[in-house]
């Protein structure tokens, strides 16, 4: 829609909003959150849907969603197991019908009052409006600096612009939803895909609230795995770097070999040097193993893609028109 049509739809509360809420073990807050989200959406529009995507929860999250009053606005997708948040978001995007899609978490950390700002910017002509954290003071020192280093590295080694401190909390226009549905990859890094599609976008700062209940499932190991996925999905620089390292080491070895031959011809053989030889072998062995490991990461991504397995399997599909 053109900006004038968007403004008119927002003013008349006729814009169709799809809210996609990925959940995993959120039984402590899911009912309160959905009730609060419905109340907020009624203030903004007469047409909306809430798609709860359960990512293989082991608690009572699904049953609590199913126990809520039935209406056409609340829908549930239950994945057959835990596929990860990136895939859960993908499932929601592939099943949403709105003119805009809003992605947010169910733990109240994403403030609902920011949805009005998202829609106002959308009405001005922005196709993507993403939330940016004002600060990370609530996070640990290690996690905060790891995130800073990751965003810096992605800026340096990729051709996409991933905004600092921007997560999945965002509004995207239907055009972008259609674009994202065209990506076939199984190993997904959604922040990179949001940036890759382009379109007109803007960031909205927001203060992250405390979790209303439950515990975060995002451990440092998962964040590290996601960072590796992001790097290998959008950059071949690690492969090129180790090719360059190999070239430098080979050049040094060639120069050293010339030096040894020259010294031997001039002064004869010299037996001492065994420790140097051991250190050199261990160093080169470590470099080779590290290079193989980096190459293995890329081969693993290729292996996953060529199998062409579905990105996810649905166990529950409730509230959708067949």
Contact in structure between 280 and 224 (CB atoms under 8 Å): no
pLDDT tens digits along 52-93: 998 888 888 888 888 887 777 888 888 888 888 888 888 889
Angle of helix 30-44 relative to helix 114-123, nearest 10 degrees, comes to 40
- Per-residue pLDDT band at 171 (split at 50, 70, 90): very high
- Locate 38 and state its tokens: 């419905």
If you ran DSSP here, which 8-state letter would residue 82 be given?
-
Q: Tokens 């600096």 belong to which residue?
A: 145
Q: What is the mean pLDDT of the chain?
A: 79
pLDDT of residue 167: 79
Q: Can you tell me which residue has the tokens 């609530």?
A: 138
132's tokens: 């940016």
Residue 268: per-residue pLDDT: 62
87, 79 in Cβ contact below 8 A? yes
**CA 80 from centroid of its chain's CA atoms:** 21
d(CA 50, CA 37): 9
Alpha-carbon torsion (43, 48, 53, 59), positive or negative: positive
Burial 18-44 (b: 16+ CB within 10 A, else e): bbbbbbbbbbbbbbebbeebbeebeeb
* Contact yes or no for 181/300 (Cβ under 8 A): no
Q: Does residue 48 carry a pLDDT above 70?
A: yes
- Find the range with the poorest average confidence among 162-166, 232-236, 275-279, 286-290: 275-279
Query: Mean pLDDT over residues 112-129, rounded?
Result: 87
Which pLDDT tens digit goes with each residue over 245-270?
777 777 777 777 777 777 766 766 55
pLDDT digits (tens, 9 = 90+) for 236-249: 777 777 777 777 77
Q: Give the 3-state secondary structure of residue 56.
A: coil
Paired tokens of 237: 């620089």
**Is the CB of residue 15 less than 8 Å from the CB of residue 100?**
yes
pTM of the model: 0.76
CA distances from 99 to 5, 6, 154, 239 (A): 12, 10, 31, 41
Would you call 59 exposed, middle or buried from its count of C-beta atoms within 10 A (0-12, 13-18, 19+)?
middle
Cα-Cα-Cα-Cα dihedral sign, residues 1, 73, 75, 122: positive
């Amino acid at each position: 829609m053109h900006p004038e049509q968007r403004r008119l739809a927002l003013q008349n509360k006729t814009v169709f909003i799809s809210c996609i809420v990925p959940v995993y073990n959120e039984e402590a807050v899911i009912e309160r959150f959905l009730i609060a989200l419905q109340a907020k959406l009624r203030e903004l529009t007469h047409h909306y849907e809430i798609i709860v995507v359960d990512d293989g929860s082991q608690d009572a999250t699904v049953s609590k969603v199913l126990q809520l009053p039935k209406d056409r606005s609340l829908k549930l997708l239950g994945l057959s197991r835990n596929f990860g948040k990136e895939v859960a978001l993908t499932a929601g995007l592939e099943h949403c019908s709105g003119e805009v899609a809003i992605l947010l978490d169910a733990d109240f950390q994403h403030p609902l009052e920011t949805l009005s700002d998202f829609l106002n910017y959308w009405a001005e002509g922005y196709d993507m409006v993403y939330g940016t954290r004002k600060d990370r003071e609530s996070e640990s020192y290690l996690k905060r600096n790891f995130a800073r280093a990751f965003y810096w590295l992605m800026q340096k080694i990729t051709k996409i612009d991933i905004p600092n401190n921007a997560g999945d909390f965002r509004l995207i226009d239907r055009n972008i939803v259609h674009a994202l549905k065209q990506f076939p990859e199984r190993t997904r890094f959604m922040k990179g895909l949001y940036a890759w599609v382009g379109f007109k976008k803007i960031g909205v700062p927001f203060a992250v609230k405390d979790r209303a209940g439950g515990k975060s499932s995002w451990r440092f190991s998962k964040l590290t795995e996601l960072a590796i996925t992001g790097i290998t999905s959008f950059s071949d620089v690690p492969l090129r770097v180790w090719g360059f390292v190999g070239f430098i080491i080979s050049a040094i070895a060639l120069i050293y070999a010339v030096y040894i031959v020259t010294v031997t011809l001039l002064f004869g053989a010299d037996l001492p040097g065994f420790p140097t030889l051991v250190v050199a072998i261990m160093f080169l062995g470590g470099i080779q193993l590290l290079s193989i490991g980096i190459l293995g990461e890329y081969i693993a991504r290729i292996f996953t893609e060529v199998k062409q397995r579905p990105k996810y399997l649905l166990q529950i599909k409730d509230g959708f028109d067949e």
